Chains A and B, each alone.
Chain A
């Protein structure tokens, strides 16, 4: 096999892995958009906040310690104990559920029946608030995320591909785990929405608010539920991205990478978010591989947005989105 093809294949495999990471972020957007028609700009910050909370709980950081120290002149920073990963994850989920409840209670309950643009603006405000809160609570320094997922080059993939092609592919073990966890997450979400009472209620609300009310579904409960789910998805994304590149505030920008994924996959489709993520991941890597000699490096910064633009021109509803036909 020619070397170029092998290198391209390696790039594509790495692209798939990166795509899964994008899809994880996009998934949170889809959940909330489907159920409430809100484009949640704060999804990326939610991932950051969840990651910060998880690391904070794990390492026994005292929340708001900087603030407390500044006011009282103390020198607090850690409780002096660490929590097992599982306990910290459960604690973080509890925090995200509480966050979902607060968001419904103090923001969206007061914005019922408002224009989508107003709800969108509210989520922008929420994003900045949450970013500031994360800073005050846990501090702004870059933290290491360690939840016990192995990292580094996967020996197995290296050996396998070497045996097949005489050339070992470099794939990060972390990204393989990310793919497995994302897969489980999607299966879990599908089982939840197809086979449980709450899942059916969730689909009903996503479809028609008025009809959902008439069969006795509480919209408020469903909104808390869906923001909680989005919070859990954000936690998973936060763990993966945090493990990959450290828990830092630039994590909130991964939300921007989710946008082209959503435009490709459609804003209302869970499979769309996955496929969209994969296409963008692979597209990015292959474009970089083949076009670098011509257009130079760093194409990954703009390729996804260009692809999204092409999609907007020819298939604005995305690959899996619902086509909206208006009768006139």
Chain B
């Protein structure tokens, strides 16, 4: 049984110390007209952990991610972030608080090069406005240079040097996913949200992506929230798992706990055996 202390956190299976609460979802309910997408769900995300949200198709996982990133606004419940109740925010405002995300159906700037795409991730780190860029070239150029260096680091890290100048539209699916991850990483986010990072990939690409996710967490200490419906992948990657089914939370704990949870087994396997 994973022993999670409210204030001090816990130690993972591989011996990493997980710290305090970064974000807490309290009694979130999200409705679209009469359809209840998320029903009274609470859970927390702690600094430095890899937190997975899993569930069958239509369970409300992506809706939950959209609530965190501000694309959806829940009718009930509270989002606490860095110890404060978060007011209603637009998605771009949420992004500016240090929450970066990827999308299930890849949302890249297709007409721009890989490098330019990743540079957009740095927009919030560029403070020099338009007029200072136009009138005071020096500092703005230096700022561009510094951000470029950060981006190059991410490019090296994700091993996409060879495609930096390629327009994104020409890339194969697996690489696009990696570029999208790079753009999110370039923002140096406090919390990184990944919506089905492995969807539609072959086995080899999945292994690569898993390795990158672990490395990102390890190297940058990033807090990662990821959604998957491929159980196997999730169990190997994550420290703690929230399981959703029909908009409700049916399990929450370490991968082992979740695996042996009766309701989870029913939700996942029951369908197949019935």
Contacts and interface: CB of A to CB of B under 8 A. Distances in A.
Contact of A214 (B69, B110, B133): B69
Interface of A: 196-198, 200-201, 203-204, 206-208, 210-219, 322
B109 A211 contact: yes
B110 A216 contact: no
22 contacts: A198-B130, A200-B116, A200-B120, A200-B123, A201-B123, A203-B109, A204-B112, A207-B109, A208-B109, A210-B103, A210-B107, A211-B107, A211-B109, A213-B91, A215-B100, A215-B124, A215-B187, A216-B123, A216-B187, A217-B92, A219-B92, A322-B111
A322 B110 CA distance: 12
Interface string B86-108: 00001111011000110100011
Contacts of A196: 130, 133-134
A211 B103 CA distance: 8
Interface string B58-99: 000000000001010000000000000000001111011000
Contacts of A197: 123, 126, 128-130, 133
A211 B91 contact: no
B119 interface: yes
Contacts, number: 77
Most chain B Cβ neighbours within 10 Å, of A204, A211, A212, A322: A211
B121 interface: yes
Interface of B: 69, 71, 90-93, 95-96, 100-101, 103, 107-112, 116, 119-121, 123-124, 126, 128-130, 133-134, 183-184, 187
A214 B109 contact: no
B119 to A, nearest CB: 6
A-B interface, 10 closest residue pairs, ranked by CB to CB distance from nearest? A216-B95, A211-B107, A207-B109, A213-B91, A216-B124, A216-B96, A197-B126, A210-B107, A218-B92, A216-B92
A148 B60 CA distance: 65
A212 B90 CA distance: 12
Contacts of A204: 109, 112, 120
Contacts of B93: 216
B127 to A, nearest CB: 9
A51 to B, nearest CB: 25
A121 B90 CA distance: 27
A207 B110 contact: yes
Nearest to A198: B130
Given A200-B116, A204-B109, A214 B101 contact: yes
Given A197-B126, A207-B112, A213-B95, 10 more contacts: A197-B129, A207-B109, A211-B108, A212-B109, A213-B71, A214-B103, A214-B107, A215-B100, A216-B123, A217-B123
B243 to A, nearest CB: 26
Contacts of B101: 214
Nearest to A210: B107
B123 A215 contact: yes
A56 B124 CA distance: 41
B65 to A, nearest CB: 11
A213 B93 CA distance: 9
Contacts of A200: 116, 119-120, 123
A41 to B, nearest CB: 25
A197 B130 CA distance: 7
A68 to B, nearest CB: 36
Contacts of B92: 212-213, 216-219
Contacts of A198: 130
Nearest to A268: B111
A208 B168 CA distance: 13
With most chain A CB atoms within 10 A of its CB, the pick from B107, B108, B129, B183 is B107
A223 to B, nearest CB: 13
A62 B101 CA distance: 53
A215 B187 CA distance: 8
B101 to A, nearest CB: 5
A203 B111 contact: yes
A91 B134 CA distance: 20
B202 to A, nearest CB: 21
Contacts of A214: 69, 91, 95, 100-101, 103, 107, 184
Contact of B120 (A210, A215, A219): A215
B192 to A, nearest CB: 12
B95 A215 contact: yes
Contacts of A215: 95, 100, 120-121, 123-124, 183, 187
A322 B167 CA distance: 14
